[in-house]
Amino acid sequence: MPRAEHAISREDISDNALKVMYRLNNAGFSAYLVGGCVRDLMLGHKPKDFDVVTNATPEQIKGLFRNCRLIGRRFRLAHIVFGREIIEVATFRGHHNEDPSVAKQDDEGQLLRDNVFGTIEEDAERRDFTFNAMYYDVATFSVTDFANGINAIKRGEVDLIGDPEVRYREDPVRMLRAVRFAAKLDMTINPRTAKPIKELAHLLSNIPPARLFEEMLKLFLSGHGLQTFRLLREYNLLEPLFPMLGKVFAAPDSKEIGLIELVLKNTDERINTGQRVTPAFLIATLLWYPVEEHATKLQSEAGLNGHDAFNIAMGDILHRQSQRIMIPKRFSTVVRDIWHLQQRLPRRFGRRAFQLLSHPKFRAAYDFLLARGRTEGGDLLELADWWTQFQDASPANQKKMLNTLRQEEGREPRKRRRPRKPKSDSHAQ
């Protein structure tokens, strides 16, 4: 498609991506924008990042850019760093061959190593979805569509290139990507592409936990988390990611599903209005009921008190989940704070209410309590409403609220003890 037949303009492309392509071109190499950025530009969306593909090898790319670092074991990539922006540059991928030093698959057909270079045509065949096999050439301002991606966009369909079962076995994460694109682009998954997903969902257990953590962030923290969650449930892809929630996902009207959907809806609203979100809040939501259930079980079976049972349950549940999806410590620590404060928020007498207000994670814990209250109602909602009023009340009204609370609970305010007079010390200087 020459420039007159598509809507992509250089004004919509990152200056740094243009610099990378021009330098590769000037060094005698071909260079194209490819994948999601071209798809989004064709749809009139603003791309989140820009990926470049070239016939230069990773070592040749590194030789052209001082700000380049090579990454990846399964397939070598070049990251060219411009401050906060990273332009990812890949060499054209080729078809697999029998040489295990450059390509290797396991018994399920999953690619373990994939350093096979090839031509642009072979690279297009190796792309996952048809609308991701469009290439923008900055030298001619043209777009080459190798797999009828334009037609898929017009039909509103997510469609894999090649045999879906083979492609999913090569990389099971493609099943998650199919769902994510369907939610993000408001498309449906082509029946041919959708058919093998439920049968092959178990293959996600072969994916390293660290990679699944990154995929989880893309699934739920891209502004379309609620719709993504519903599609993941529809295709039985949630249980391989969160095995402890298997029973929950089978019950569509449960309080567990209600809490998760409410939090995802709020998260989408925050993301789409430019507010900050943290993965810790989502993880706390997904695993809250397993923690409660496990703590109750520990109390009844091991005879532990509520405090000890809850602390052990938190550690057990986070450890089990980390076997499937890695949870970095910077997030698991916040998750523990949010959970622990759920036990403290009901205890508001004396100075406790003010101490809780000054806790660094009070706001996150309060938001979580509010979501629980709106899901379950009853005493939880009353408690959440009390904290809603208390944190915004004047000091005088806060004192009145605490006095009212004491009266309702039938508690007498503690009498202040008179400070003891210090004993005289004859040896003091």
> Is residue 51 among the annotated active site residues?
yes
Report domain extents, the chain. 1-155, 162-253, 345-409
What is the Cα–Cα distance from 38 to 47, expressed in whole angstroms? 8
Is the Cβ–Cβ distance between 286 and 260 less than 8 Å?
Answer: yes
Rounded to 5°, the CA angle 10-12-15 comes to 70
Kindly report the backbone phi and psi dihedral angles of residue 68, in degrees, each rounded to the nearest multiple of 5, phi listed first. Answer: -110, 140
Cβ atoms 19, 10 nearer than 8 A: no
At 429 the pLDDT is: 36
Residues of 84-118 as b/e, b for ≥16 C-beta within 10 angstroms?
Answer: eeebbbbbbbbeeeeeeeebeeeeeebbeebbbbb
Tokens 């990378």 sit at which residue? 20
CB 192 within 8 A of CB 130: no
pLDDT at 256: 92
Fold held by 162-253: cca-adding enzyme, domain 2 (1.10.3090)
Exactly one of 114, 128, 159, 268 is catalytic; which is it?
128
User: Going by C-beta distance under 8 Å and a sequence separation of 6 or more, which residues neighbour residue 94?
Assistant: 116, 117, 118, 119, 122, 123, 126
CB 217 within 8 A of CB 279: yes
Q: Taking each helix axis from N to C terminus, what angle separates 306-322 and 329-344, rounded to the nearest 10 degrees?
A: 150
Q: What is the predicted pLDDT for the residue at 413? A: 52
Query: Does the active-site annotation cover 49?
Result: yes
Q: Which amino acid is at 198?
A: K
Q: What is the largest CA-CA distance in the chain?
A: 99
What residue type is 192 in one-letter code?
A: R
pLDDT at residue 427, rounded to an integer:
43
Fold match, 1-155 / 162-253: no
3-state secondary structure of 76: coil
Structure token pair of residue 231: 């599609």
Residues of the chain with pLDDT under 70: 74, 96-115, 410-429
CATH number of the 1-155 domain? 3.30.460.10
Which is catalytic among the residues 40, 51, 114, 159?
A: 51
Whole-structure pTM value: 0.85
Residue 412: HSE in the Cβ half-sphere, 13 Å Cα cutoff: 3
Per-residue pLDDT reduced to its tens digit, 124-168: 999 999 999 999 999 999 999 999 999 999 999 999 999 999 999
CA 26 to chain centre: 38
Q: Which two tokens stand for residue 288?
A: 């809250």
**Hey, which residues does 409 pair with through a beta bridge?**
none
**The predicted structure's pLDDT at residue 428:** 42
DSSP letter assigned to residue 117: B
* Phi then psi dihedrals of residue 79, to 5 deg: -105, 120
